[in-house]
């Protein structure tokens, strides 16, 4: 959202001008953390979430948590992410990275578990399944096997939760209502967008009841507006916020 405002710092101000009190962003690492901290202080916004340092995205990197042989890079990127977290006081989505054809499932999973054990000693984090249409090859791409949900359950740590992105959930499995009820106890953060174009939740699409179900499941935390506005002005896409029990 607010890409029309220009650079990242300008987007913070645009979010404030649109009425938001809290923000999240994927990758803030192009801006020094102290500059971001200053903007948060000036605007009065609360930062609630970022993704961990993904590495070189232009080269196709998207994190290292599940990549065998990249443990040192994972720890290096984690420390960079933590330096931002200390400055801005927020939670981090720990990026698993892309599956490697050089390694089998057991190697990827063992690497992920080992890296997460280290991570939860350093921070409070989330892991997120991402659908294979949006990001082909992403390791954490489902809810049904030993990945993601079972990893959170196996870690059994208050410092590791599930990031429940409703758009990815619909694209991966459907059955959204039942999965919301099932996984909310493991969930630390929710994001929303309409499937399948990933526009704002009020656009026509496959999901028209999400907020009611989240409320019924007992979720009362932040909900990230992780969508592409259907109009050139992001503020014009906020009609969905008129639903009961939602505040900016």
Q: How many CB atoms lie within 10 A of CB 185?
A: 11
CA-CA distance, 183 to 149, in Å (whole number)? 8
Catalytic residues: 128, 226
R_g over Cα of the chain: 18
The model scores a pTM over 0.85: yes
Q: What is the pLDDT of residues 12-25, one digit of tens each?
A: 999 999 999 999 99
Tell me the DSSP string of 9-71: HHHHHHHHHTT-SEEE-S--TTS-HHHHHHHHHHHT-EEEEEEPP---GGGT--B-TT-TT-H
- Per-residue pLDDT reduced to its tens digit, 143-200: 865 578 889 999 999 999 999 999 999 999 999 999 999 999 999 999 999 998 999 9
- The whole-angstrom separation of Cα 47 and Cα 23 is 5
Report angle CA 144, 147, 148 to the nearest 5 degrees. Answer: 90
Tokens of 40: 């948060």
């Amino acid at each position: 959202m607010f890409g029309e405002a220009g650079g990242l710092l300008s987007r913070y101000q645009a979010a404030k001008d649109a009425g938001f009190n809290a923000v999240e962003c994927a990758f803030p690492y192009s801006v020094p953390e102290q500059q971001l901290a200053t903007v948060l202080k000036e605007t009065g916004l609360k930062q609630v979430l970022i993704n961990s340092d993904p590495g070189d995205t232009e080269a196709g990197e998207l994190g290292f948590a599940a990549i065998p042989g990249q443990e040192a890079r994972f720890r290096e990127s984690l420390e960079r992410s933590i330096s931002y977290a200390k400055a801005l006081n927020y939670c981090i989505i720990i990026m698993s990275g892309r599956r490697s054809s050089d390694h089998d499932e057991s190697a990827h999973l063992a690497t992920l578990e080992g890296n997460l054990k280290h991570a939860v000693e350093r921070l409070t984090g989330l892991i997120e399944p991402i659908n294979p249409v949006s990001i082909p090859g992403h390791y954490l791409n489902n809810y049904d096997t030993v990945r993601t949900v079972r990893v959170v359950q196996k870690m059994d740590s208050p410092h590791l939760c599930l990031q429940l992105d409703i758009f990815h959930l619909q694209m991966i499995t459907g059955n959204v209502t039942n999965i919301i009820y099932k996984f909310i106890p493991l969930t630390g953060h929710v994001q929303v967008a309409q499937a399948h174009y990933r526009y704002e939740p009020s656009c026509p699409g496959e999901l028209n009841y999400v907020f009611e179900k989240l409320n019924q499941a007992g979720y009362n935390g932040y909900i990230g507006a992780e969508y592409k506005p259907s109009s050139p002005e992001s503020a014009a896409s906020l009609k969905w916020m008129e639903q009961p029990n939602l505040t900016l």
